[in-house]
Chain A
Amino acid sequence: MIGESRWVQWASHLILGGASAVILLPLLWVLRTSFADKVVAYQIPPDLFFAPTLDNYREVLLRFDFGSFFLNSLIVAMATTLIALMLGALAAYAIDRFRTGGPVMPLAILATQMMPPIVLVIPFFLIFKQVGLADTHVGLIITYLTFNLPYVVWLMMSFFKRVPRELDEAALIDGAGPFGVFWRIVLPAALPGIGAAGVLSFVLCWNEFLFALMLTGQQTKTLPVAISSLVTQQGTAIGAVCASTMLAIAPMVLVYFAIRKLLVAGLSLGAVKG
């Protein structure tokens, strides 16, 4: 018996270690190349021991102005997430507690999430040109609400389900109004869930590509669009591409380290049990 379980342990570590290597090695390779100078970056066979340089990061930040694209991504993701959380939490609470809108409502929310972005990008492109919302933060925030708001409502519904109804009833008997119950009793109890929903929604916005590609210009380009345009402009500026890729990933990975437990909890409740 002991022999068998030891064998299983070894095999598990072999497989999990292998999978981890498949994830880590490409990332480490890009990280390594982001510190390589122009000559080293193009060398095949590759040079593994070279003097690292920050030239690529300098070029990306100073010459290509990635700071402002970074800021665009941050503004749009933060604003969308805040709006989605404020509207979505209220709606999710009503749908969970009062079945507002009947059985159709959760289905309608789910249906909006099925919508392929290409379906909406075409009309948005035309409308935004007409009303002057093309290449503005507000325009991009509007389009991001199309997928973020239903996502947040969906996640929050399952979080509120976990807050016992007795809490609501006790507060009602104590004379609190419906909004008071929501604001002072249920919301604080669901705070970890709101945190998880907020982070997940932020990540979704930060990484979005199609809307940003079609609806932003020089003023409001987000990071993914800026990186993609770097490729077409520069052919194969390997070092700069690697540095900008690292700049796009780094904040998300940092966020992730901070909220790992929330993320697992958020998905186990929201996406799966929803």
Chain B
Amino acid sequence: MTLVAATAGITPRRHRNLAQYIFVAPTVIVLALVVAAPLIYSIYLSFQEYIITYGMGDFAGLGNYIAVLSDDFANVSWVTLKLTALCVAIEFIVAFGLALLLNQPHLPGRSFYLLVLMIPVLMTPVAVALMFRLMFNPTLGIVNWLIGLAGIPPQGWFGDPNLALGTVVFVDVWHETSLMLLMLYAGLKAMPSEPVEAARIDGASRLQILLYVTWPLMKPVIMVTLLIRMIAALKSYDLIYMLTQGGPGKATETISFYAYRLGFRFLDIGQAAAVSFILLIVVTILTLVLLRTMREA
């Protein structure tokens, strides 16, 4: 009897063991072909002299890396870091505040607010950028006309080196806050309600509840949200391409856009690959650091 049960138990387990690998195989094979293989090819390219118009040249050693690091890299890293820090910080504060307001127990009009505030998530960055290019146009845009009504002289929103980065941050905040809001709001809704109720019955103020109950409970969600947004912001390309092309001068040039400019304007594939690979390393290191602080917290 026990023997029968044991053998009957073995066969399906073996099936399952084989089956799980068959289930995973297609995904692993596809990702190896479309992600790992091009990545390895790109690393190889970064060590080659390769200018599209001349074709593949000699092995360059670290030549491409030395060239790009000594050239514009300090500037584009600084721009990328400023942009990422400003966008993530502002978007988080706005999104968390709005999520808390939306999560109040009795709030008439909640579904309307949610509906409107989610629209930007669905928009392609190209459309967002075009919209604001029109509105911020120095002569034909409505923004300069509106501030003119208040007596403020017209501004070159994307043309003034002192304003351009700020304007790009504004457009990014307009576009990306929604996604953070959605994630934080979903996290608040999934939070157990008993601790907040208990604190309220004990006479805690709204601020006390926020600081000592909601914040600790939400911490994992907040960390994941910040991580996801930070990784995306470090890769910023679309908005830069559409809004400023990295200008004026190099005031808004990010690492991604720099790699694009080297590869597809200057046709230097070797250097472009080197920059893109450095970006990958930066993103990986920052992610690991953030994951570690998350685990400690």
Q: How far is the CB of B92 from chain A (nearest CB, A)?
A: 14
Interface bin, chain B = 35 or more
Cα–Cα, bound, A67→B221 (Å)? 41
Most buried by B among A87, A206, A225: A87
| A100-B23, A122-B45, A210-B237 as given contacts; A116 in contact with B122, CB under 8 Å | no
Residues of B within 8 A of A120 (CB): 35, 38-39, 42
| A145-B34, A245-B131 as given contacts; A206 in contact with B124, CB under 8 Å | yes
| A90-B27, A271-B224 as given contacts; A207 in contact with B130, CB under 8 Å | no
* Contacting pair A116 B183 (CB below 8 A): no
| A12-B101, A27-B131, A150-B31 as given contacts; A118 in contact with B256, CB under 8 Å | yes
Residues of A within 8 A of B41 (CB): 123, 126-127
Residues of A within 8 A of B235 (CB): 116-118
Is B238 located at the chain interface by the 8 A CB criterion?
yes
Pick the residue among B109, B121, B224, B280 that contacts A272 (CB under 8 A): B224
Residues of A within 8 A of B237 (CB): 117-118, 209-210
Residues of A within 8 A of B183 (CB): 267-268, 271-272
* Contacting pair A119 B28 (CB below 8 A): no
* Contacting pair A22 B174 (CB below 8 A): yes
* Contacting pair B280 A116 (CB below 8 A): yes
Pick the residue among B26, B145, B287 that contacts A90 (CB under 8 A): B26
Is A136 located at the chain interface by the 8 A CB criterion?
no
Residues of A within 8 A of B185 (CB): 264
Residues of B within 8 A of A206 (CB): 124
Is B196 located at the chain interface by the 8 A CB criterion?
no
| A15-B101, A119-B277 as given contacts; A87 in contact with B135, CB under 8 Å | no
Contact pattern, B 173-211, Cβ under 8 Å of A = 1, otherwise 0: 010001000110111011000000000000000100000
* Contacting pair A30 B118 (CB below 8 A): no
Q: How far is the CB of A140 from chain B (nearest CB, A)?
A: 12
| A214-B264, A264-B185 as given contacts; A122 in contact with B15, CB under 8 Å | no
Residues of A within 8 A of B279 (CB): 116, 118-119
Residues of B within 8 A of A87 (CB): 26-27, 30
Q: How far is the CB of B19 from chain A (nearest CB, A)?
A: 4
| A42-B140, A172-B12, A231-B130 as given contacts; A29 in contact with B135, CB under 8 Å | yes
Is B86 located at the chain interface by the 8 A CB criterion?
no
Residues of B within 8 A of A263 (CB): 118, 182
* Contacting pair B20 A94 (CB below 8 A): yes
Q: How many residues of A contact B (CB 8 A)?
A: 97
Most buried by A among B107, B119, B277, B287: B119
Cα–Cα, bound, A20→B45 (Å)? 47
Q: How many A-B residue pairs have CB under 8 A?
A: 263
Is B142 located at the chain interface by the 8 A CB criterion?
yes
Is A115 located at the chain interface by the 8 A CB criterion?
yes
* Contacting pair B264 A273 (CB below 8 A): no
Cα–Cα, bound, A271→B141 (Å)? 38
Chain B, residue nearest A73 (CB): B124
Chain A, residue nearest B111 (CB): A260
* Contacting pair B123 A207 (CB below 8 A): yes
Is A182 located at the chain interface by the 8 A CB criterion?
yes
* Contacting pair B117 A23 (CB below 8 A): yes
Residues of B within 8 A of A29 (CB): 131, 135, 142
| A19-B98, A46-B145, A203-B122 as given contacts; A26 in contact with B115, CB under 8 Å | no
Cα–Cα, bound, A88→B34 (Å)? 15
Cα–Cα, bound, A225→B127 (Å)? 10
Most buried by B among A88, A97, A98: A98
Cα–Cα, bound, A94→B287 (Å)? 26
Pick the residue among A46, A236, A242, A253 that contacts B137 (CB under 8 A): A236
Residues of B within 8 A of A264 (CB): 114, 182, 185-186, 189
Cα–Cα, bound, A15→B139 (Å)? 31
Residues of B within 8 A of A245 (CB): 127, 130-131
Is A155 located at the chain interface by the 8 A CB criterion?
no
Residues of B within 8 A of A46 (CB): 142, 145
Cα–Cα, bound, A9→B214 (Å)? 20
Residues of B within 8 A of A241 (CB): 130, 134
Chain B, residue nearest A41 (CB): B140
> Can you list 5 A-B pairs with a CB-CB distance of less than 8 A?
A17-B113, A94-B24, A223-B124, A245-B131, A263-B182
Question: Which A residues form the contact surface with B (CB < 8 A)?
Answer: 8-9, 12-13, 15-17, 19-20, 22-24, 26-27, 29-30, 33, 42, 44-46, 87-88, 90-91, 93-95, 97-98, 100-101, 105, 111-120, 122-127, 142-143, 145-146, 149-150, 153, 172, 177-179, 182, 203, 206-210, 213-214, 223-225, 227-228, 231, 236, 238, 241-242, 245, 248-249, 252-253, 255-257, 260, 263-265, 267-268, 271-274
